[in-house]
């Protein structure tokens, strides 16, 4: 698997606070990587730096494969504009050659074609999140960074969102996403990164984390994660 | 930048209430300020109790001046409400029907005529400290004007008496001789008599009387001029040092338009930047690399959008007002320059507020808190407050673009100063400073 994203010795300081310490990992083309960890672990900071929202204090993010698409936890949309207008605006700002075609493609992939002309402010949280992710994907980036994409969604909405993302991953898009929902990470991610106190403690498949949790975890990844974090506290 | 501009215009078009408020509120505030400045206070409504006997006069030598003349002078200065008694006057003041009451006492004629006791009128007023101060200064001015007019009448009577003394003839007062010789006639008449007198003691005595009569006539002639000088000892000659005199109503137009320009610019620019943060879109727009738009371009877009909208509103206001107030259309190019540069500087202030405030409600509140005092501080006239405080007001006004925009527009519309170059440079510098501040405010987007 060729590397689409390479993060090397990344660190971020806010004054005296070390939000990230020496983080290094790679993500291959078409790989779905979940970033899990407790609150304040540095998940959002890591994804923000990968997406270019924040600059690292040290280390590098290699985006040579191309731009990184970005979908923040809070949907970054203009609520007075319709779904199609939001998509068209960002398609034009991204400098896409045929913005109308890109809008049509994203409307189809996100399943929002029927609501294209509805103001985003009137959409449900799930549909807003789908538009939010669609905006991150409109320029067809090789890598997509998603910060807790399913945080405010009900199970049905979550399912539809992951179907949408799975289709992109199948086409070779690399997705790095943060989540508190460990079972979601277990179900959809190819690999797990566990962050705590700004340090990368684990970088492997979910099964490896279950093994680390031991038999007492009983195949429960969430319990295995809690045990694992307890060991490293 | 053009797609972002198009997006903002689309959002504005869909925010009708916001647009209406943005236009109506500043225009209403501006018109209120304009009216307050341009309308001189109406004559105060004052109750007048004239207790002097009807037809009472003041005797000045052989002349008489009607006491009613004083009341007439006072009536000219105020909106007079004649009241028969002091008690009724007090009731009217207490009820607020009149601002104050003036009681002209019954003995006013006797006191003025006595020349030993000063005549006085009584002023009754009510209200809080501010109202008392206003009433007192308004009435002081009205009474001073009435006194001046009345004193002119007395001077005129005194002048007539002096004239009679100089020219002679019938003085008109009881007991005076029917055909009195005038002081001016004494020297020539006496000269003829002296010429016929032999040299000696009697002739010398007559010559001394002749000299005195000539001297007295000369000095009495002078005293007429002296009386006029006492009435108004110093005449005021006003000289405007810079530019041309600006009529109050056209200055009020400039103030009204400048206030509108400021409100629309600052509120729109501050709200525009803050909205990008509130919608969480800012990070998506200016992340790097490569970034969809640079921070500088984003700030420029918001500034230009606000400046453009405010320019249209302000120019429409000027053009509309020009239908009622005579404005010089030949200076329209200067109007455009002053409005455009002022709008950009005020827009820069707005984006700085928006970048620092981070959310629309906070930005709007901060914009109001900034603009309202700026408008009032810029209008505080020199000399109305203490020197140090006025310097502080000037310093505050100098570091914000409103006063410079007002001065530039005043020059453009009224030719109030010889050149508006300094104001334009000042505005350009302030635009750069507030633009830089806004850039600092956008340093962190998350």
Least Cα distance to A101 among A129, A145, A139 occurs for A139
Q: Cβ contact (<8 Å) for A52 and B288? A: yes
Residues 6 or more apart whose CB falls under 8 angstroms from that of B61 comprise B157, B158, B160, B161, B164, B173
**Token pair 């009697």: residue:** B202
What is the structure's pLDDT at B167? 81
Tokens at A180, concatenated: 């508190």
Residues 283-322, chain B: which have Cβ within 8 Å of A? 283-285, 287-293
- Per-residue burial over B422-446, b if 16 or more Cβ lie within 10 Å, else e, is ebbebbbebbebbbebbbebbeebe
Calculate how close chain A gets to B32, using CA atoms only, in Å: 33
Strands (E), B213-275: none
At A122-176, the pLDDT tens digits run 988 888 888 888 888 888 888 999 998 887 777 887 888 888 888 888 988 899 9
Least Cα distance to B305 among B339, B335, B338, B348 occurs for B348
What is the structure's pLDDT at B352? 94
Residues of chain B with pLDDT under 50: none
Question: How many A/B residue pairs have CB atoms within 8 Å?
Answer: 60
What letter does residue B184 receive in the DSSP assignment? G
Residues 6 or more apart whose CB falls under 8 angstroms from that of B421 comprise none
Residues 6 or more apart whose CB falls under 8 angstroms from that of B192 comprise none
pTM of the model: 0.70
Tokens at B413, concatenated: 């519309």
Alpha-carbon span B278 to B233, nearest angstrom: 68
Q: How many CB atoms lie within 10 A of CB B26?
A: 27
Q: Which residues of B touch A78 (CB under 8 A)?
A: 7, 11, 279, 281
Tokens at B91, concatenated: 């009731």
* Chain A interface with B: residues with Cβ < 8 Å: 48, 51-55, 63, 67, 70, 72, 74-81, 85, 89-90, 92-94, 135
Evaluated on CA atoms A129, A134, A137, A138, the torsion sign reads negative
Residues B280, B314: contact at Cβ < 8 Å? no
Residues B402, B33: contact at Cβ < 8 Å? no
Nearest by CB to residue A53, choosing from B14, B279, B283, is B283
What letter does residue A122 receive in the DSSP assignment? G
Q: Transcribe B286-323 into DSSP letters.
A: H-SSS-SS-HHHHHHHHHHHHHHHHHHHHHHHHHHHTT
Nearest by CB to residue A89, choosing from B3, B15, B446, is B3
Virtual CA dihedral for A50, A54, A55, A56, nearest 10 degrees?
A: -70
**3-state SS assignment for residue B378:** helix
At B92-144, the pLDDT tens digits run 888 888 888 888 888 877 777 776 777 788 888 877 666 677 777 777 777 77
- Per-residue burial over B396-409, b if 16 or more Cβ lie within 10 Å, else e, is ebeebbbbbbbbbb
Q: Which residues of A touch B3 (CB under 8 A)?
A: 89, 92-93
Alpha-carbon span B304 to B435, nearest angstrom: 12
Alpha-carbon span A100 to A91, nearest angstrom: 8
Minimal-distance CA residue of chain B relative to A61:
B289
Alpha-carbon span A233 to B23, nearest angstrom: 59
Alpha-carbon span B136 to B122, nearest angstrom: 12
Tokens at B312, concatenated: 């249209």
What is the structure's pLDDT at B290? 60
Evaluated on CA atoms A198, B359, B375, B246, the torsion sign reads positive
Q: Which residues of B touch A52 (CB under 8 A)?
A: 287-289, 291
Q: Which residues of A touch B271 (CB under 8 A)?
A: none
**Token pair 């190019």: residue:** B333
Residues A190, A177: contact at Cβ < 8 Å? no
CA distances from B435 to B300, B363, B398 (A): 8, 16, 17
What is the structure's pLDDT at B23? 76
B9 touches chain A (CB under 8 A): no
Residues B350, B306: contact at Cβ < 8 Å? yes
What is the structure's pLDDT at A215? 67
Calculate how close chain B gets to A78, using CA atoms only, in Å: 6
Angle at A56 between CA A53 and CA A61, to 5 degrees: 80
Angle at A129 between CA A176 and CA A37, to 5 degrees: 40
Residues of chain A with pLDDT under 50: none
Tokens at A2, concatenated: 């060729």
CB-neighbour burial class of residue A108 (10 A; exposed 0-12, middle 13-18, buried 19+) = exposed
**3-state SS assignment for residue B79:** strand
């Amino acid at each position: 698997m060729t590397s689409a994203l390479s993060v090397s010795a990344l660190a971020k300081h806010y004054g005296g606070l070390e939000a990230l310490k020496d983080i290094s990992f790679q993500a291959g083309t078409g790989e779905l990587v979940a970033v899990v960890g407790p609150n304040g672990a540095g998940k959002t900071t890591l994804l923000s730096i990968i997406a270019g929202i924040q600059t690292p204090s040290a280390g590098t993010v290699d985006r040579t494969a191309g731009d990184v698409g970005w979908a923040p936890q809070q949907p970054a949309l203009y609520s007075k504009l319709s779904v199609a207008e939001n998509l068209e605006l960002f398609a034009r700002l991204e400098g896409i050659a045929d913005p109308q075609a890109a809008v049509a493609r994203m409307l189809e992939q996100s399943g929002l074609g029927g609501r294209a002309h509805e103001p985003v402010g009137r959409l449900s949280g799930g549909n807003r999140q789908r538009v939010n992710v669609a905006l991150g994907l409109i320029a067809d980036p090789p890598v997509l960074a998603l910060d807790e994409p399913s945080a405010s969604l009900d199970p049905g909405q979550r399912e539809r969102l992951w179907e949408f993302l799975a289709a992109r991953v199948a086409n070779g898009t690399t997705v790095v996403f943060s989540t508190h929902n460990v079972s979601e990470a277990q179900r959809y991610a190819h690999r797990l990164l566990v962050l705590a106190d700004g340090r990368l403690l684990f970088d492997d498949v979910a099964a490896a984390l279950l093994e680390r949790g031991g038999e007492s975890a009983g195949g429960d990844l969430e319990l295995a994660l809690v045990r694992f974090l307890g060991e490293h506290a | 930048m053009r797609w972002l501009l198009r997006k903002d215009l689309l959002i504005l078009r869909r925010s009708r209430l916001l647009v209406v408020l943005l236009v109506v509120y500043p225009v209403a505030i501006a018109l209120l300020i304009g009216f307050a400045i341009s309308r001189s206070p109406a004559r105060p409504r004052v109750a007048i109790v004239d207790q002097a006997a009807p037809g009472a006069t003041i005797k000045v030598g052989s002349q008489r001046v009607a006491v009613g003349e004083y009341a007439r002078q006072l009536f000219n200065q105020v909106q007079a409400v004649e009241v028969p008694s002091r008690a009724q006057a007090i009731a009217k003041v207490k009820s607020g029907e009149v601002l104050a009451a003036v009681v002209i006492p019954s003995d006013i004629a006797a006191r003025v005529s006595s020349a030993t006791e000063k005549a006085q009128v009584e002023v009754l007023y009510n209200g809080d400290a501010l109202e008392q101060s206003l009433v007192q200064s308004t009435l002081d001015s009205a009474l001073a004007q009435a006194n001046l007019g009345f004193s002119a009448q007395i001077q005129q009577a005194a002048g007539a008496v002096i004239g009679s003394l100089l020219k002679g003839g019938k003085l008109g007062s009881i007991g005076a001789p029917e055909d009195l010789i005038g002081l001016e006639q004494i020297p020539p008449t006496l000269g003829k008599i002296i010429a016929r007198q032999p040299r000696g003691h009697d002739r010398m005595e007559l010559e001394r009387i002749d000299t005195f009569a000539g001297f007295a006539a000369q000095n009495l002639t002078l005293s007429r001029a002296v009386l006029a000088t006492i009435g108004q000892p110093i005449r005021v000659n006003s000289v405007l040092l810079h530019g041309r005199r600006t009529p109050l109503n056209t200055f009020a137009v400039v103030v009204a338009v400048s206030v509108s320009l400021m409100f629309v610019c600052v509120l729109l620019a501050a709200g525009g930047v803050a909205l990008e943060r509130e919608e969480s879109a800012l990070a998506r727009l200016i992340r790097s690399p490569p970034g969809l738009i640079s921070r500088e371009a984003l700030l420029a877009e918001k500034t230009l959008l606000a400046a453009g909208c405010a320019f249209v509103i302000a120019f429409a206001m000027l053009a509309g007002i020009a239908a009622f107030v005579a404005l010089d259309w030949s200076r329209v190019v200067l109007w455009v320059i002053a409005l455009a540069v002022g709008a950009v500087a005020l827009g820069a202030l707005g984006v700085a507020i928006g970048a620092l405030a981070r959310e629309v409600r906070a930005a709007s509140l901060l914009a109001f808190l900034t603009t309202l005092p700026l408008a009032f501080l810029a209008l505080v006239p020199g000399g109305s407050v203490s020197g140090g405080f006025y310097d502080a007001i000037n310093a505050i006004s100098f570091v914000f673009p409103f006063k410079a925009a007002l001065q530039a527009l005043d020059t453009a519309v009224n030719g109030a100063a010889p050149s508006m170059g300094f104001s334009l440079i000042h505005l350009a510098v302030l635009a750069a400073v507030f633009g830089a501040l806004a850039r600092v405010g956008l340093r962190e987007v998350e």
